[in-house]
Every structure is written in structure tokens, then in C-alpha cells.
Amino acid sequence: MTEEINLTIDGIPITTRAGTSVLDAALENAIYIPHLCHHPDLKPVGACRLCGVEIDGGRMTMSCLEPARAGIEVVTESPEIALVRRTAVELLIANHDMDCLACAAATDCELLRLSAHVSVQSERLERLKGLTELKPVDNSNPFFSFDPNKCVLCTICVRTCEEIQGVRALALINRGYETVIGTFGNKPFIESVCESCGECVVRCPVGALAPKRFQKPAREVQTTCTYCGVGCGLYLGVIGDRIVSARGDRERPSNHGQLCVKGRYGFKFINHPGRLTTPLIKRNGEFEEATWEEALDLVAEKFSQHKGDSFAALASAKCTNEENYLIQKLTRAAMGTNTVDHCARL
Amino acid sequence: MTNSIEEVKDAACILAIGTNTTAAHPVIAYSMKQASRNGAKLIVANPKVIGLVRSADIFLQNQPGSDVALLMGMARVIVELGLHDETFIEEQCENFEAFQASLEAFNPEFVAEVTGIQWETIAEAAQVYATNKPASIFYAMGITQHTHGTDNVMAVSNLALLTGSVGKPSTGVNPLRGQNNVQGACDLGALPNVYTGYQQVTDPKVQAKFEEAWGVKLSGENGLTHVEIIDAIDEGQIKVLYIVGENPILSEANANHVDKAFRKLDFMVVQDIFMSGTAEYADVVLPAASFAEKDGTFTNTERRVQRVRKAIAPVGDSRPDWWIVNEIGKRVAEKGFDFDGPKEIMEEIAALTPIYGGITYERLEDVAGLQWPCPNKDHPGTPYLHKGKFSRGKGKLIPLVYKPSDEMPDEEYPLLLTTDRSLYHYHTVITRMAEGLDELEKEELLRINPVDAEGLGLEGGDMVKVRSRRGEVEVRADVTDVVPPGVVSMSFHFHESPTNVLTNAALDPVAKIPETKVCAVRVEEFQKRAQ
């Protein structure tokens, strides 16, 4: 068991595990400290300068980098902290493309959450505006876009690609106002080593990296991915009778929320117009639509005439366990042969 | 897998051989790379410079088909340096002396010659694997799809046994299963030699058990495997074929032979979600529901049984596969096909299958699912196998000899073709229908080394004809040094360039797996790309 320690945040007694950062201890106890570059999956970097706190009356320190220690008294708001925070937020917002209604992050934006906590003055924003020009949006990837005008340079995407995916497709490029997130050589995403896994898109706190044509699902269903043998847990998002999204299930031991490009974005085949939607019977070399009764009766008639060694079944590694069980049972118990196999060897 | 995915990140050494993990099992590759960043030694053995090589400490670029030589060479180093786990071998293994004697043939000159790798590099890899524990080995079709695939697997197993790297967390012999439910299809007896849970059809006791449960007489003879089925159709023995969710016309080795066989069938039923190339041959096509439209379970590569849940109603008049099979069963059998859903089917599975004995839909509500063996309702499942003892009693070290692949390059067909997979596609149909994925990889590419390309006067982007003894395919060339000179590679995802027309259906004598990883081809008749 990790040791439990006690401390206070704004005078409120808190218990947390040793080794937790002050920021995480606060967030776990439903005390909000503004932050942008913090993500629970990533190592803290203290880059955004927003999560400053004062400990035991000392100078301001970044709470994401500060380990919680027994007995400390943490203060999350003071005139000095408020000034630093407001300046940092105003600089971020002044350069931010405020197209919030059409933004995929609209319902879950750290910048909106942040601005609600900091007194932002619009006349000051006006003065800060115009220091940078609008930068082109990178739409090269079929599944997501990157809008540098919304980017807050928190580097969560860069660190996700490095620390979690080990792909290292992204980096901070240039200096000062010219700083942007970019690929090697600042080429379009599609020409980089990016594998389109979308893990950075999931973690982007502001909608700079956003799924294309995103629709927030009306409901979500917990299931298992249909692609490879890893068996990632995922939630399929549904609107009406359409699958509109997929996201990783963080509780699942097989993937802990991570997905690849196929699992996250490869669901469009489900509602593809080319799906087979009715039984077909070939007559004179042409397929004709049939009812289930007609098709099943014909299949049963032919199968009944070929019980034993003249019958073979190929089951499917894409089907469920229950379905494979039934296919082998049908072959063995009803058709009288053990000639049932599937593509395990292919 | 003997071990679990969650254990990957805690290994001190990972040997990834014959697996292009970043493409075929990306989420496990994330864990391998995380282990590497945590300080684990990563050894990658592959004929191609795959994505994982960027994170590797040692890269063994062995010739396709040379895995037995490579692994036995490593074993020889381990034994010569005394790095084998004598206590483990003494207590838990057998046949060490015979195994040791078989290492004699794998001398440095021979191994270096066959693998194309310097002996010193192999020796270093062997030492790194034997001395950084816990060590786990991962492999996939690069090991199995050979006429000596079984030997390859035994060679992998030998290495793990020799060093005692099995039966503990973050160790083991870990085949990465390809399809989402290939593990489950095997577990549930969709194989010609076993009922559910690997109960042998030739065992009279097993036969009696299933005869009693199902109330019918059953055959005690093994059935035919996939490739054998195609041959038996061609020879006129099999006349009726029922295919569920498979597209052998693209995925099976020697596809022209499959085409010829399918034309001979009296009656063929294909049950699928799309009109695949295979479905075109069918007499009846039955529209199936996709995974998003039905309830059930999949079993992943770490033996974890997990729930699949219906998110939307079946598209159009399609139906879940279990419903369709059940309806056919009702019509052709007197009894045994009156299931009202997957939950009830799982109850019958659990009753007949010891390794699934404790699995129920109630227990699968837990997000973690259950890892078999799970013999009873109080059993928590098994994260890693062979703890303390092997299921067969003692682990057997297997003496091996090197066998060349069935068809090696020669004067007429001077290049060696090996097949692989793309990150952006999965087998042959569904990713082609998933908007966006096709955009990321639009067409088949023949990867060819600049040395070979120059010899042929070929440039990247040119359309070429690739020819083998079995057929020819048109494909665009990608001149790249991810393949070594003399070796070319293609995936098999694109019906426009059906790679398996070229591949060799020669089989491993035990596993009956075709040798899709090695065949001889020549490249010719190219058309310059538009300038």
C-alpha cells in the first residue's frame, strides 16, 4: 500500500497518496486549479504556467511539478497568482481562434473551463490581438485536422506521440510568436511519420487537433473492437441507426483506452451503402433478391442432400465465439463431418 | 499468448520475431515501445526494416525462412556460455541432452550463411535475451506461415525453456493472434481435429461426451483443413461449401487454384456483410450483421473473453450469424438448434468446455472479461500459463534441423517474395469500405530494394508485372531499402492486385499452414509511371 498523507488546500484538509502531485491531489478532491499542459497519462512539464500555487507561504510554484508532502498548506489563489494566471490566459486567448460553436472540443474545452475561472478583460484582449497572422489549417489527414490558430502550445500532443505512442511525429518548431506544433520539416501530417492513431486528438484540450465531421453521439455502447487480436475495449457512439464515433475504453486491461487508426476511425464500413441487406439466390448466373424463408429452405434442402464427406464449412475468425460454436456444431452434429476450419492459418 | 498484454511493459527484454507489431497489432506495439523507454532491451528479428526497428537495441535482419537457424544459433550461444537456467531445465524440462546434441549442426559459419547475419550480432542478441529477465518472446505469421512453421514455433519455445523464461509474469511464448476472434474460433472448435476447448475428435471419450450432449452419432475422424478443403473440392470429393465471413479468393495461398476449385462446386453458400470476391461464386448469399449489430463474445490473443454488444439494429434485412446458423440447423437437424440468443449458447459452451467452464454472461459484465483457463464459476481466470508446472507435465526441448523453404529463388524466378500487412488495412474487404483508410493507403505496392530495382532499370511508381510459377499480378513498385536485396514484399489487402495468386500453398506437415511468407518470383514488363 502506498503511504497516505494529509495536507490542506485553501484550508481544507485533504488526504492523498504519497507521490501524487499537488495538482492531482487537488483535482482528485474536486478542487479546480487552472491548468492546460497537465494530462494524467503524461509526465508533468510545468509549461503553461497556469497551475501556480503557494506552499507554506512561500513563492509561487507549479503545482503539477510539486509533490504533495505531509502537513503542507497549499494556497491556490493570491494577488500574485491571479496576475500571472490572467496574463498567461489572456495571451493564449488573444491568439486563439474563437470559433467555438463549430469546434469539436466545444463541450469539453480546457480553455473555456479556464477562462470561466479567470477574469478575462475584452479590451486587453483586443490590444493583444493582431500580433500573429492566421496560419493555414492542416486538413491533409482524412480523419482529423490541425488548426494552429486554436493551438495553445501545451505540447500534450507532442508528449503523447513521444511518451505513449513512441512514434515521435510531432515537435515544437520555431521560437517566440512563431512557435508552432509541427511534423518533421513542418510538412503536412499526411506526409509525416504520423500513424493516424488519433491519441493526440483525443488528448488535445482545446480542439486544435480535432476529428473531422465530428458529431457528439447521442449514446455510447461498450464493446470490443473487430479488427485485430488485441481485442481493444471501445465505446461505439451512435446517433439514430448510425455509428458516428469510437473511443477507447480506459478500464479495459487489453488496451487501457488506447486505439490504433483502424479501431478509432475504421468504423465507416458498418453503415456503408454497399452492405448486403437481403438474401440473394443465383438464378441463371444472376443474383436475385429472395426472402429469408426462400433462401434458408434452399440452403437446408441442398445441405440435407450432402451430409457427410461431401460437405465442408469455413467458419470465421471475425464472428463471435457463440457463432463459431454453432457453425462447428452444425457441421459435426447435423452434417456428420469434422471438416470445419477457418482462416487461423492465413 | 502464454502471458498478458498488461505484462508487456514490465519486461526487461523483448524478442519480437516474425511480427510486424506496429502494423498488425499496433496497441501491443505501444506497450513494447513503452517497455523499451523504461529500459527494456528490444531485439527485433525480421527480414524487413519494420517500424519497431526504430526502437530496437538489436536488429537481426534475417533472410526469410531462416528462423530455425537464427533461434538455434542463439540457443547454441546460450548453452556454450552457460547462460541457460540449469535448475529450471532440471526441474521442469526434459530432453535437454538430445536438444544440446542438435545444436552441433548450428555452427557459426552455417548460421551466418543461412541467416545473412554476422555471428557476433547473433551472439550478442542471445546474451541479451538470456541475461535480461523477465524476457518475453512475441511472434506472429512471420514464424508460422512456412513449410517449417511448426519447427519455427518449437525453436521459439526452446529458447524460452532454455532460459526458464516461462510461467512467470512478463515472460513466455507469445503468439500474437491475427484476427479479432481467431483465438475464439479455435477455442470453440472451428477446427477439423478438435471440439471446443481443444478436445480431440479422435478421442473416443470426448466423442462419447459430445454424442451424449448433442444426442447424435458423431464422426471420430479428423476433418480436412482449409487448404485441404480446396484440394478436395478440386478433386471432386467435396461438393457443397458453406463459407461464413471469409474471403479465401484473396486470402488463401495460390488463389488461382481456389478459383478453379470454386467453379467445380455443386452448391456454395456465402454468409457475409459485403459482396466479397468469394461471394460472387456463391449460389446463395446470406446477409450477415456486423459486430456493431449483435451481442456475443470475442476472445483476444491473451485468451481474454470479452463482450461484444449490439449498438444498432442489423442493417437492412441482415441478421446476426448465430441466428442464421441456428435457422439452418433447425431445418437440417432434428434437435439442438433452438437457441434464443448468444447468452444461452454460452451456457452450452461452458457446460461442454472445461477451459470455458466458469464463463457466464453475468461474469462478463466485468469490464476485464475473463482469461481462460477458467474452469469453474469461482475461478478468477488465468493471466499467465504454466505457473510452476506445464500442462503436459514437463516442458520438452525439441531437437531441430534447418529445412529450407519449399520454393527458393532460382535463375528463372530470382527474387524471394514475402507477404505482410499494412497498418491501414485488415485482410481483404472491410477496411476498403471504411472511408479514409483507403486514402491513407490506396493501392498495393511491391517493395523492392534499390539494388534490384537498378538491375531491372526500374523506378519507384512504375507499374510492374510480378510473376511466379502460379500466376501473375500487376502492381506499383516502391523502391525502398526496407527490404534487403533479393527480397520483395507485398501485402494482400487489394483485390486489384491479388498477391495470393503468386504465393505457394505448400504446407507445413503438422500445422497445415501454407508457406505465404516465402516464394520465388520475377519482376518484368513494367510500364513507366506518368511523368
Residue B279 belongs to a domain with what CATH number? Answer: 3.40.228.10
Return the C-alpha cell found at A248: 477507447
Better-predicted residue by pLDDT, A107 or A187:
A187
Q: What single-letter DSSP state applies at residue A288?
A: E
The three-point CA angle B66-B69-B70 to 5° equals: 85
Place A94 in a pLDDT band, splitting at 50, 70 and 90.
confident
Which residues contact residue B516 at a Cβ distance below 8 angstroms, ignoring those fewer than 6 apart?
Answer: A346, B141, B145, B253, B419, B492, B500, B503, B504
pLDDT tens per residue across span A228-276: 999 999 999 999 999 999 999 999 999 999 999 999 999 999 999 999 9
Name the β-bridge partners of B299. Answer: B305
pLDDT tens per residue across span B372-385: 999 999 999 999 99
CATH of domain A4-128: 3.10.20.740
Q: Does one domain contain both B207 and B298? A: yes
Q: Does one domain contain both B88 and B146? A: yes
Give the range of the structural domain holding residue B270, as residue numbers without chain letter: 224-287
Which residues in chain A (208-267) have CB-CB distances under 8 A to chain B? 221-233, 236, 238, 241-243, 249, 251-255, 258-263, 265-267
pLDDT tens per residue across span B35-54: 999 999 999 999 999 999 99
If phi over 0 gives left and psi between -120 and 50 gives alpha, with beta otherwise, what is residue B166? beta
Domain limits, CATH 2.20.25.90, in chain A: 219-275
Q: Does one domain contain both B39 and B126? A: yes
Contacts of A243 in chain B (CB under 8 A): 292, 311-312
Q: What is the pLDDT of residue A1?
A: 53
Distance, in Å, from the CA atom of A145 to the CA atom of A99, rounded to the nearest integer, reads: 15
pLDDT tens per residue across span B67-118: 999 999 999 999 999 999 999 999 999 999 999 999 999 999 999 999 999 9
pLDDT exceeds 90 at position A3: no
Distance, in Å, from the CA atom of B296 to the CA atom of B15, rounded to the nearest integer, reads: 34
Q: Does one domain contain both B151 and B196? A: no
Q: Does one domain contain both B165 and B27? A: yes
Q: What is the pLDDT of residue A91?
A: 80
Distance, in Å, from the CA atom of A57 to the CA atom of A265, rounded to the nearest integer, reads: 50
Which residues in chain A (65-104) have CB-CB distances under 8 A to chain B? none
Which residues contact residue B383 at a Cβ distance below 8 angstroms, ignoring those fewer than 6 apart?
Answer: B3, B4, B6, B7, B169, B371
Q: Is B392 inside any structural domain?
A: no
Q: Helix (H, G, I), strand (E, B), or coil: what is residue B106?
A: coil
Contact of A282 with chain B, judged by CB distance below 8 Å, is answered with yes
Q: Does one domain contain both B72 and B212? A: no
Which residues contact residue B251 at a Cβ distance below 8 angstroms, ignoring those fewer than 6 apart?
Answer: A343, A346, B427, B428, B492, B500
- The residue from B360, B376, B392 where one domain ends is B376
Q: What percent of chain A has pLDDT over 70?
A: 98
Q: Does one domain contain both B233 and B160? A: no
Q: What percent of chain B has pLDDT over 90?
A: 87
Q: What is the pLDDT of residue A99?
A: 78
Nearest chain B CA: its distance from A72 CA (Å): 32
Residue closest to B185 by CA, chosen among A225, A230, A325: A325
Q: What is the pLDDT of residue A54?
A: 95
Mean per-residue pLDDT, B5-18: 96
Residue closest to B297 by CA, chosen among A253, A322, A226: A322
Contact of B349 with chain A, judged by CB distance below 8 Å, is answered with yes
pTM: 0.93
Better-predicted residue by pLDDT, A127 or A245:
A245
Q: Is B189 inside any structural domain?
A: yes
If one counts every other C-beta atom within 10 angstroms of the C-beta of residue A91, the result is 15
Question: CB of B518 within 8 A of CB of B416?
Answer: yes
Residue closest to B136 by CA, chosen among B34, B32, B259, B45: B32
Question: CB of B62 within 8 A of CB of B55?
Answer: no
Q: Does one domain contain both B247 and B202? A: no
pLDDT exceeds 80 at position A127: no
pLDDT exceeds 80 at position B531: no
Contact B226 A242 (CB under 8 A): no
Contact A306 B299 (CB under 8 A): no
Q: Is B64 inside any structural domain?
A: yes
Instruction: Tell me what the pLDDT averaged over chain A comes to.
Output: 92
Distance, in Å, from the CA atom of A255 to the CA atom of A246, rounded to the nearest integer, reads: 14
Name the β-bridge partners of B296. Answer: B308
Mean per-residue pLDDT, B444-464: 94
Cα dihedral A233, A239, A243, A247 sign: negative
Q: Helix (H, G, I), strand (E, B), or coil: what is residue A12?
A: strand
Q: What is the pLDDT of residue B253?
A: 83
Q: Is B388 inside any structural domain?
A: no
- The helix (run of H) or strand (run of E) holding residue B422 is none
Contact of A59 with chain B, judged by CB distance below 8 Å, is answered with no
Which residues contact residue B366 at a Cβ distance below 8 angstroms, ignoring those fewer than 6 apart?
Answer: none
Place A133 in a pLDDT band, splitting at 50, 70 and 90.
confident
Question: CB of A204 within 8 A of CB of A156?
Answer: yes
ipTM of the complex as predicted? 0.94
What residue of B is the nearest CA neighbor of A261? Answer: B424
Better-predicted residue by pLDDT, A30 or A94:
A30
Q: Is B322 inside any structural domain?
A: no
Distance, in Å, from the CA atom of B133 to the CA atom of B127, rounded to the nearest integer, reads: 11
Better-predicted residue by pLDDT, B432 or A130:
B432
Place A104 in a pLDDT band, splitting at 50, 70 and 90.
confident
Place B433 in a pLDDT band, splitting at 50, 70 and 90.
confident
Place B447 in a pLDDT band, splitting at 50, 70 and 90.
very high
Give the number of residues written for chain B. Answer: 531
Mean per-residue pLDDT, B413-442: 89
Contact of A20 with chain B, judged by CB distance below 8 Å, is answered with no
pLDDT tens per residue across span B262-293: 999 999 999 999 999 999 999 999 999 999 99
Nearest chain A CA: its distance from B503 CA (Å): 12
Contacts of A331 in chain B (CB under 8 A): 223, 242
The three-point CA angle B36-B56-B181 to 5° equals: 75
Q: What single-letter DSSP state applies at residue B512?
A: -
Return the C-alpha cell found at B362: 453475468
From residue B24, alpha-carbon distances to B28, B179, B180, B433 in Å are: 9, 9, 11, 19
What residue of B is the nearest CA neighbor of A191? Answer: B440
Contact A312 B325 (CB under 8 A): no
Backbone dihedral angles phi then psi of residue B184, each to the nearest 5 degrees: -65, -40
Q: In sequence order, what DSSP letters do the residues of B329-341 get, joined into one string?
A: HHHHSSSS----S
Question: CB of A322 within 8 A of CB of B329?
Answer: no
Question: CB of B183 within 8 A of CB of B177?
Answer: yes
Distance, in Å, from the CA atom of B115 to the CA atom of B107, rounded to the nearest integer, reads: 12
Provide the strand spans (E) within B343-425: 370-371, 395-396, 415-419
Q: Is B396 inside any structural domain?
A: no
Distance of CA B311 to the CA centre of its chain: 29
Contact A254 B252 (CB under 8 A): no
Question: CB of B140 within 8 A of CB of B28?
Answer: no
Place A131 in a pLDDT band, splitting at 50, 70 and 90.
low
Question: CB of B111 within 8 A of CB of B71?
Answer: no
Residue closest to A251 by CA, chosen among B355, B366, B476: B366
Which residues in chain B (67-106) have CB-CB distances under 8 A to chain A? none
Contacts of B214 in chain A (CB under 8 A): 329, 332-333
Which residues contact residue B263 at a Cβ distance below 8 angstroms, ignoring those fewer than 6 apart?
Answer: B281
Residue B199 belongs to a domain with what CATH number? Answer: 3.40.50.740
Question: CB of B180 within 8 A of CB of B308?
Answer: no
pLDDT exceeds 80 at position B144: yes
> In B353-477, which ranges are continuous DSSP H helix?
437-440, 450-456
Q: Does one domain contain both B270 and B298? A: no
Mean per-residue pLDDT, A110-127: 79
pLDDT exceeds 80 at position B219: yes
Contacts of B339 in chain A (CB under 8 A): 326
Residue B508 belongs to a domain with what CATH number? Answer: 2.40.40.20
CATH class of A219-275: mainly beta
Mean per-residue pLDDT, A185-195: 93
Distance, in Å, from the CA atom of B79 to the CA atom of B315, rounded to the nearest integer, reads: 59
Distance, in Å, from the CA atom of B237 to the CA atom of A309, rounded to the nearest integer, reads: 7
Contact of B26 with chain A, judged by CB distance below 8 Å, is answered with yes
Backbone dihedral angles phi then psi of residue B68, each to the nearest 5 degrees: -60, -45
Mean per-residue pLDDT, A133-142: 91
pLDDT tens per residue across span B172-196: 999 999 899 999 999 999 999 999 9
Which residues in chain B (371-410) have CB-CB distances under 8 A to chain A? none
Q: Which of B186, B200, B284 to mutate to test the interface with A (most CBs of A within 10 A)?
A: B284
Q: Is B27 inside any structural domain?
A: yes
Contact B326 A326 (CB under 8 A): yes
pLDDT exceeds 80 at position A122: no
Mean per-residue pLDDT, B408-435: 90
Residue closest to B493 by CA, chosen among B415, B419, B401: B419
Distance, in Å, from the CA atom of B30 to the CA atom of B39, rounded to the nearest integer, reads: 14
Return the C-alpha cell found at B13: 527484454
β-pair type (B472-479, B296-299): unpaired
Question: CB of A287 within 8 A of CB of A277?
Answer: no
* Radius of gyration (C-alpha) of chain B in whole angstroms: 24
Nearest chain A CA: its distance from B418 CA (Å): 13
Q: Does one domain contain both B87 and B208? A: no
Q: Does one domain contain both B73 and B112? A: yes
pLDDT tens per residue across span A278-293: 999 999 999 999 999 9
Question: CB of A341 within 8 A of CB of B190?
Answer: yes
The three-point CA angle B525-B260-B421 to 5° equals: 60
Domain limits, CATH 3.10.20.740, in chain A: 4-128
Q: Helix (H, G, I), strand (E, B), or coil: what is residue B522?
A: strand
Mean per-residue pLDDT, A290-314: 97
Count up the domains in chain B and report the number. 4
What residue of B is the nearest CA neighbor of A317? Answer: B182
Contact of A281 with chain B, judged by CB distance below 8 Å, is answered with yes
Return the C-alpha cell found at B34: 513503452
Question: CB of A280 within 8 A of CB of A288?
Answer: yes
pLDDT exceeds 80 at position A121: no
Q: Is B259 inside any structural domain?
A: yes
Which among B33, B232, B274 has CB closest to A275? B274
